[in-house]
Amino acid sequence: MFIVWGKKAVTRRMGYVADFCPVCRGPKAFQLNRVGMASHVYYIPMGEGALIGHDRACNDCGVKLKADPRTYTSIPKKLSDVDSLRRQTYPQLLEVYAERLRIEDKVRNAPNELTAEERAALIKQPFALLAHVVQRRFSATHLDKECLFAMTGTAVAMLIAGPVTTAVAPEYAPSVLMTLLAAGSIATIWLIATCGRRYIKRKIIPVLSESLRPLQPTLSEINSVLAELRRVGQKLGKKLSAEDLLRTMRAM
């Protein structure tokens, strides 16, 4: 018998903390996670595994950043509003991030006072952080509801059409079934091929738009970040359309 086994990363939620989110541009609530490398049999992990690190996932935008649990004075299991979470878990947050918060204040209230370097870095950072989210997502196959609907729709249509055409016009049954199968397969293949773009449109563009809106980046500024991402092999550089991003930002 062939047994599927190996190692897989296992994430365990430790609790919630407050910290600075560079995508949301301010203090936010994060879920703090322990990440371990555990043995698995048929993808069922055996325990939480040897510690390989910690991460924190922003409750608002979903971006994941490296974390050190020692940063926080406590790690409550329950989520509360960001201000009380900050007092409870990271009372020095505002002092630690004072310089960054000063720049973010400029982003909101006086973006024209930012230096060219500050502006370029502030535009690039959310792309760079979300590129990792996209890279992880594209490392495994994910099917969205459209793909699943096309697959089950094809199967259901064939199951209904089979007995119906056999009873009504048996001579047409094979060609009706072949046509349904061909149409269903083409639709499914097309939907699987465009699944990644839908994910970017639904999950990444809204977050990027919210993050970049105060800076109002130009088409050429966005395209130059995307070109840089493509150069280093980040899929976000290929999958994201600068025009879609600008359109969403302008509609906000």
Residues that bind Zn ion (CB under 5 A): 21, 23-24, 58, 60-61
Q: How far is the CB of 11 from Zn ion (least distance, A)?
A: 18
- Which residue's CB is nearer to Zn ion, number 64 or number 147? 64
- Which residue's CB is nearer to Zn ion, number 65 or number 143? 65
Q: How far is the CB of 167 from Zn ion (least distance, A)?
A: 58
- Which residue's CB is nearer to Zn ion, number 154 or number 211? 211
Kindly report the backbone phi and psi dihedral angles of residue 16, in degrees, each rounded to the nearest multiple of 5, phi listed first: -125, 145
Query: Could you give the dihedral angle defined by the CA atoms of residues 94, 100, 102 and 107, in that order, rounded to the nearest 10 degrees?
Result: -130
Q: How far is the CB of 175 from Zn ion (least distance, A)?
A: 54
Q: How far is the CB of 24 from Zn ion (least distance, A)?
A: 3
- Which residue's CB is nearer to Zn ion, number 60 or number 146? 60
